[in-house]
């Protein structure tokens, strides 16, 4: 049976999103990628 007061505080959701997005950015930068490369040219046929 679930508890009535089992809601997650808003600040916890914000903190989780910031940590998750920060980890994603750190991973992309660590492997030498670019955060805007996919946004500018999402599909490059034949690797051109």
Q: Tell me the mean pLDDT in the region 10-37.
A: 86
Q: Tell me the mean pLDDT in the region 37-43.
A: 58
Two tokens, residue 10: 């808003």
From CA 22, how far away is CA 12, in angstroms rounded? 15
CB of 25 closer than 8 Å to CB of 35: yes
Q: Tell me the mean pLDDT in the region 13-36.
A: 86
The pLDDT-based confidence of 39 (bands split at 50, 70, 90) is low
The answer on pLDDT for 41 being more than 90 is no
CB of 29 closer than 8 Å to CB of 23: no
Two tokens, residue 3: 């508890």
pLDDT tens digits, one per residue of 14-25: 999 999 999 988
CA dihedral over 20, 23, 27, 29, signed as positive or negative: positive
Higher pLDDT, 13 or 40: 13
CB atoms within 10 A of CB 28: 14
């Amino acid at each position: 049976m679930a508890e009535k007061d089992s809601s997650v505080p808003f600040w916890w959701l914000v903190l989780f999103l910031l940590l998750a997005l920060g980890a994603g950015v750190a991973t992309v930068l660590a492997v030498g990628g670019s955060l805007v490369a996919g946004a500018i040219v999402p599909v490059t046929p034949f690797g051109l």
